[in-house]
Chain A
Amino acid sequence: MNDLQEKPEVKKEREAKDDGRYIIFYTFEDEKD
């Protein structure tokens, strides 16, 4: 659990779909526990 005064740590991964559209995955460190 992150400190409430801090922004959560996030991993942002941008990928291309088969039809060329983009998709972005946001994965949060504080969601792992």
Chain B
Amino acid sequence: MSERTIQTERPWSLKNFFFQWEWFLVGLFVIINIINSFLSPYYFTADTFLSTPMNFLDKAFLVYPMMMIIVLGNIDVSVGSIIALSSVIMAVSYNAGLAMPAAMVLCLLVSTLCGFINGFLQAKFKELSSTIVTISTQIIYRGIAYIILEDKASGKFPSWFSFLGWGYVGEIPFIMIVFIIFTVLFAILIHRTRFGRQLFAMGNNSTACRYSGIKTENMLILVSTIMGFMAGITALFLTSRMGSTRPNVASGYELDVIAMVVLGGVSTSGGKGRISGPLLAIFIIGFLNYGLGLFNISAQVLLIIVGILLIVSVMLQNLRLGKQGQKSGAKPR
């Protein structure tokens, strides 16, 4: 954690306006869509843009809370396991006779508790990095899912449950409406509340924040708990889309989500980022996947591409932030 001054408001100028990471993302998004439209003559229809996101929006719920965690300068690699555990518990408890709405609430409770435990451990054992804490809880949560369900699948949900992942309200997919609501909520939370400002302040200098009266431990726990809750939301939609669940669902989700956040211009050293970046990144990676599907490219190549995307976008970020730092005379890290 280095001591940096917190930028409050950058002076508006035409140059600053156009030299924003978001424009690069918008460009990337347009290019991907142009390529996709060459691949499929039926690409540019309203249906494409409404139904394609249904394939990747379940992951998108994780992006904003992950952004909050990365803004704090932390990381969470346990989200995939939280999804698996809460989804498995929901399925098993429903099949054991619990009513479906109650099972869904249980799913959210379990995931929120998992997130709380992550935050609690980090707050109580500050010597430990978030990396090692979430690596161990990652193994534990998925391990519990395996203990509960072994290598079986569980499902047979009531038919209305599939509405979550597959249903439409009028022309618009239900999942997209929920996503828009969460986007607005998180945009307000991150950029328009005191909580949001404290988040960025903590990412810049946690010690100074503690001395100036911010309850940093509570912040850590709160952010991780929100992450857990959103993992539960993802578990609901993902399970609904798949119709059944196994202990190995959502493995590797953390990487995709971290890639989206970082591609969205959020600095991995903490304290920097805007919600518009990750929002664009969700759709860039989502439509990229869709396009690669049109190409008939295998899932393995996709692994490679997401890996490269993650590394390259962090490298570009570092270059960009390094330059900015030099310009404003700040000491480069």
Do A and B come from the same complex?
no
